[in-house]
Amino acid sequence: MSLLEPRTKGLYCPAADLYIDPVRNVDRAVITHGHADHVHSGLHSVLTSEPGSPIVAHRLRRGSQLQSLPYGEKLRIGDAVLSLHPAGHILGSAQVRIEVNGKVAVVTGDYKRGADPTCEAFEPVPCELLVTETTFGRPEYVWPPPERLRNQLRTWWAENQDHGQLSTLLVYSLGKAQRVLAMLDPEQGPILVHGSIIPFLSMYRNAGIGLPHTYTLNNTHLQEYGKRAIVLVPPGAYRGSVKQKLTPGQSALVSGWTLHGDQRQEISTDTGIALSDHVDWPELLQTVEECQPEELWAMHGFREEVSEYFSAQGYKTCVV
């Protein structure tokens, strides 16, 4: 029996009769983390990490059965033994370790290895089969050190304040927003956040993650705090009346795609800040070296390039 099988609904584990991050609704699923492209509201029976369960529960419909598992704790399902391990992507993100008859497969989900005080640090898990994301799986993607990015954020904000300009950061509401907030100094000025970010802030704070005080983005707070403020808003919400309220001013997209000027968004911003919640090329190589797999499957992003590279290194590879 194979450890994992790529199917149209997602990665399937025959020994446990369940899917990992299915792309369609299924009866039994393991969810690596709470981003909307990894968890679907109509799932029936769901297993996820204990730290990430409030976020996943927020995405599910009423009636879904949600079971949480502490990191590292083993759970037998059918003929497989499952455990979840920190992925370092966002709060509660997990790698899925599956052991069947002494053979181990690890599905990383989305992950990163850079320092981030808002989530658990990535933990390499030895395995025979490694299924890794490859969102930025090319040698040209090497992230700047987090401390440099933190200084870039604060300096950019200060320069805008000196010129009497409002600062707007385009960040995803879950994960990126909280990581950016942890980098900002609330003594520098008021921090305003879009309403879609607020529910996740509560979940992070309830998990003991220290975040600065924020104000809800609205007309009253914009008028009161004016050009001293910095605003966090999701890229999808930065249009129409929201964009008009924040103009004139300076805007920055916070994304790994901005490292080489590729924003991958139909959004016009004044600058980019290359802060990513995914592994870069050196971190991907480090992960493979530490996990010591015999076989490597590549998911998302530059799958073909990564598969070709590791095939040339002697690994058995597959594009998922």
Other beta carbons less than 10 A from residue 248's beta carbon: 8
More confident residue, 73 or 240: 73
The whole-number pLDDT of residue 264 equals 59
- pLDDT tens-digit map of 89-114: 999 999 999 999 999 999 999 999 99
Cis check for the bond before 293: say yes or no (omega within 30 of 0): no
Q: What is the pLDDT of residue 137?
A: 97
d(CA 12, CA 74): 19
Task: Check whether 45 has a pLDDT greater than 90.
Answer: yes
User: Percent of the chain beyond pLDDT 70?
Assistant: 98
Amino acid at position 160, single letter:
N
Task: Indicate the length of the chain as a whole number.
Answer: 320
Q: For position 151, what pLDDT does the model report?
A: 97
Residue 240 is predicted with a pLDDT of 84
Output the CA torsion sign for 243, 246, 249, 255.
Answer: negative
Per-residue tokens: 186: 């609330």
**Domains of the chain from N-terminus onward:** 5-140+278-319 (3.60.15.10), 146-273 (3.40.50.10710)
The DSSP element (H or E) to which 282 belongs, if any, is: helix 281-291
pLDDT score of 262 more than 80: no
Residues 6+ apart with CB under 8 A from 240: none
Taking the C-alpha atoms of residue 115 and residue 122, their distance in angstroms, rounded to an integer, is 9
As a whole number, mean pLDDT of residues 182-198 equals 97
Instruction: Decide if pLDDT at 1 tops 70.
Output: no
